[in-house]
């Protein structure tokens, strides 16, 4: 059974061209550092798995979980020594997405800057494509 990592917020990126990259998902340096920090406390886990679930007022929401192994249909992204696995259902929705980690005085969360999103809910936790 997988355990949830932290909260994630969705942001639509307007007027941004999808640029070809070596992977479906890119990580900012702050996201890499936070994942490394989270995995330090979980030595039996090899990375973080990103998925999508149907929920929220706008249709889809991202999920983040610790994972001990790569699933058969997962896509693996390795960046700066961090392994992120993308569930099959989430692979097309994440193309060209940047995963960031943001901290301010009231919250800390992973933020997905996704150019494929057509709309988000007011709270930023769900989206539609």
Q: What residues does each domain of the chain span? A: 25-123
Q: For residue 15, give both structure tokens.
A: 């007027």
Q: Name the band, by pLDDT with cuts 50, 70 and 90, for residue 115.
A: confident
Distance CA 77, CA 4 (A): 19
Distance CA 106, CA 109 (A): 10
Looking at the domain covering 25-123, what would its CATH class be?
mainly beta
C-alpha distances (whole Å) from 105 to each of 24, 75, 124 are: 31, 34, 18
Strands (E), 1-59: 8-12, 25-27, 47-54
Distance CA 74, CA 86 (A): 5
pTM: 0.74
Burial class (CB in 10 A: 0-12, 13-18, 19+), 90: buried
pLDDT higher than threshold 60 for residue 4? no
* Cβ–Cβ under 8 Å, residues 60 and 121: no
Residues 6+ apart with CB under 8 A from 77: 23, 24, 25, 27, 83, 84, 85, 86
pLDDT higher than threshold 60 for residue 96? yes
**Residues 6-46: pLDDT tens digits?**
666 555 555 555 555 556 888 999 999 999 999 998 889 99
């Amino acid at each position: 059974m997988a355990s949830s990592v932290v909260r994630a917020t969705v942001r639509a990126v307007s007027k941004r061209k999808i640029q070809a990259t070596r992977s479906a998902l890119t990580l900012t340096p702050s996201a890499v550092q936070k994942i490394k920090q989270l995995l330090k406390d979980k030595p039996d886990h090899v990375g973080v798995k990103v998925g999508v679930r149907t929920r929220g007022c706008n249709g889809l929401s991202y999920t983040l979980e610790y994972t001990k192994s790569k699933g058969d249909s997962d896509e693996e992204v390795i960046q700066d020594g961090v392994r992120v696995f993308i569930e099959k259902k989430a692979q097309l929705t994440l193309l060209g997405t940047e995963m960031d980690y943001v901290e301010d005085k009231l919250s800390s969360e992973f933020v997905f800057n996704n150019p494929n999103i057509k709309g988000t809910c007011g709270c930023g936790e769900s989206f539609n494509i």
